Homo-oligomer: A and B are copies of this chain.
Amino acid sequence: MFETAELGRKIGKKEYEAELPALRTDLLRLQFELRDRDFPVIVLLAGNDRKSCNEVLNVLHEWLDPRFLQANAWGRPTDEVRERPIFWRYWRALPPRGRIGIFVRAWTMQAMVLRLLDEIDEAALADLVGHVRRFEGELVEDGALVLKFWFHMTEKKLRKRLESAKKDREAVLMIKKQDRRIYGDYERAMQTMEHVLRRTSTGEAPWQIIESGDDRYRNLTVGRALRDALAGRINGASEADVKAPAPPTPPLTGDPLTVLDRVDLTRSLEKDDYQKALKRGQARLNRAARDARELGVPSVLVFEGWDAAGKGGIVRRLTAAMDAAQYRVIPIAAPTDEERAYHYLWRFWRHLPRAGQMTVYDRSWYGRVLVERVEGFATEDEWRRAYAEINDFEEQLVDHGTVLLKFWLHIDKDEQLRRFQAREQTPFKKYKITADDYRNRERWDEYELAVNEMVQRTSTDVARWHLVPANSKRWARVEVLRTVCRALEDACRRAED
């Protein structure tokens, strides 16, 4: 989930200053137009980066007309507040229709903090998260446009900031103390935050995870997202559609663009090393798979990736090491007529493995947010709400004890072209290449954005994405083998305990 916010994105001063005047003019105009509309705009600023929340609040005050802006930052609750139900202060602070209300570190963050300070237990957190979902759902149903920004900072930067608290004033020190308690166990903090973000990221009010390392990138990303969402809603508001349109993908500027740019495609293996590693890996998988069968550990493997990235070759190397009665490979193409008659997740549920079995999905439910999104086979509403549906589905798998592994096989555009051409020269591979493949290629950038959002929304602590460099087929095969073995072995160890 946070991988897409650890890319080191930056925007140069020149670019920033060139874009700013137009953006600010747009925002002011839209804010003015909003005043005659019958819906409020609710902006949530939260994150593990406290400073960014405050800075973005200031920036928005500078960019917008503060007379029609309500800002709400939440410190320690006063008596007034503690004597009423938790949501009282938030209800009180809601903006009326036609206005923008900004909430800094509000309800969602409060739920996380209460849990991380051990002031509430897991059951109470689940309860509170339910209230958050219903609260936001009610606001959206009442017409509100809800935008939620999460500012993410890397662990390294966060630590540095917490260490350098000494020169700050006393009030700030108190906050730092709280933060130090929360982030003392960074992994636990991020797990809890991710869990709550996942649960509160709905189709109608999703979280946008924003990398906060560079102020200009951060500010522009928020500004553009706010502008686009406002414009979309104001221009579409004449229609009977009361639902808030989902905010757009955050604009990608700067370098690198997406998580895929961070995949090291230079990785490779010599032939001899590969053959040795492959043999070793397959023997290891054979053992691990037998143990899994004996212990009743089910597993689900998902393979996604560019055309010609080598999915088939990898799957064959995996299954070659296993007993054919233990696994099933489910190739996912366009749905059949029968499958089309159901909810799109139905066809994946039906193939779930029993205890000790493995299902390998060659392409998967992620088609909804990849090909169906890019090619327009799914409506925007459909693919937007799919992220939450998918997370819920995968959570049920993992809670049940299923080993779930998701691989994206990454190659670059040149490598793909080489492979297409090679296939065309090889008689028995020729059938594999069609005009479709070339057409998909033209949409490479759109697919890349879709992959980036997929990773942002569905690479969770429960089911992380493995982005595998696959320009070298050898390297990719060994890497996937190793990952599968490790996961099965871990699960068997847990099952034995």
Contact = CB atoms under 8 A, between A and B. Distances in A.
B352 A88 contact: yes
Interface string A387-429: 0110010001101101000000000000000000000000000
A155 B392 CA distance: 37
25 contacts: A40-B341, A80-B354, A84-B298, A84-B353, A85-B396, A85-B399, A85-B400, A86-B396, A86-B400, A87-B349, A88-B352, A91-B345, A91-B346, A91-B350, A92-B349, A96-B341, A97-B342, A98-B341, A131-B396, A134-B392, A138-B343, A138-B392, A139-B343, A141-B203, A141-B385
Interface of A: 40, 79-80, 83-88, 91-92, 94, 96-98, 121-123, 126-127, 130-131, 134, 138-139, 141-142, 144, 199, 203, 296, 298, 338, 341-346, 349-350, 352-355, 385, 388-389, 392, 396-397, 399-400, 402
Contacts of A97: 341-342
A214 B144 CA distance: 46
A144 to B, nearest CB: 8
A200 to B, nearest CB: 12
Contact of A85 (B91, B96, B397): B397
A349 to B, nearest CB: 4
Identical copies in the complex = 2
A402 B341 CA distance: 49
A298 B139 contact: no
Contacts of A199: 130
A396 B349 contact: no
Closest 7 CB pairs of A and B: A96-B341, A123-B123, A91-B349, A83-B355, A85-B400, A85-B396, A126-B126
A385 B85 CA distance: 22
A39 to B, nearest CB: 10
Given A83-B355, A85-B402, 15 more contacts: A79-B354, A83-B296, A84-B298, A84-B353, A85-B399, A85-B400, A87-B349, A91-B345, A94-B342, A96-B342, A121-B123, A126-B130, A130-B130, A138-B345, A141-B203
B354 A84 contact: yes
